[in-house]
Amino acid sequence: MSRHSLICNKSNPKIVFEEGDYKSTPSVFEKLKVNGILVSKELRFHPYFIFYDVETWLRPNESKSDTKLQYLGTHELLSISLMGSEEEKPEFIPVEGTTTEALNIMIIKMNEIRKKYLHMLYPNYCVFFKQIAKIDDEKIKC
């Protein structure tokens, strides 16, 4: 019998379930519907994506052989490629300085793509933003 089983069987672990029925929290779209704002199913999913891929290499490292666990190496970032679903060519980010610098460049480029896609989406969602703002204005007046 494994060590884990011996410990578990001795302490008699119990799972205590709370009484009552499970109620999931309402989604954003259900909350909007309560306020009279109906968002069609086609507009509930983000149509744009950012894909990325990382390449690493295994840097060998020396570890002591007196332990049961031996590390052969450490994966180190070599390069990053990313591309938005509406872009025509990928961005290539080689690690020329530190890993942190390359990751910061990746985040900046992803934010640029994200902002571009938000501008493309805004006309489709503008009507909902106006309806939400109207509800917020009514709550403030009370």
Q: Provide the b/e sequence for 100-136 (b: ≥16 CB within 10 Å).
A: eebeebbeebeeebeeebeeeeeeeeeeeeebeeeee
Give DSSP secondary structure letters for 73-128: EEEEEEEEEEEETT-SS-EEEE-SS-HHHHHHHHHHHHHHHHHHHHHHHHHHHHHH
Q: Which residue has the tokens 């493309």?
A: 120
Task: Say how far apart CA 52 and CA 85 lie, in whole Å.
Answer: 11
Tell me the pTM: 0.67
98-142 confidence digits (pLDDT tens):
999 999 999 999 999 999 999 999 999 999 999 999 887 877 664
Residue pLDDT, tens place only, 30-89:
999 999 999 999 999 989 999 999 999 998 887 666 667 777 888 999 999 999 999 999
Rounded to the nearest angstrom, the gap between the alpha carbon of residue 76 and the centroid of all alpha carbons in its chain is: 22
Separation CA 136–CA 142 (nearest Å) = 10
Of all residues in the chain, the percent with pLDDT exceeding 70 is 85
The pLDDT of residue 34: 93
Angle at 40 between CA 121 and CA 110, to 5 degrees: 30
Distance CA 56, CA 99 (A): 11
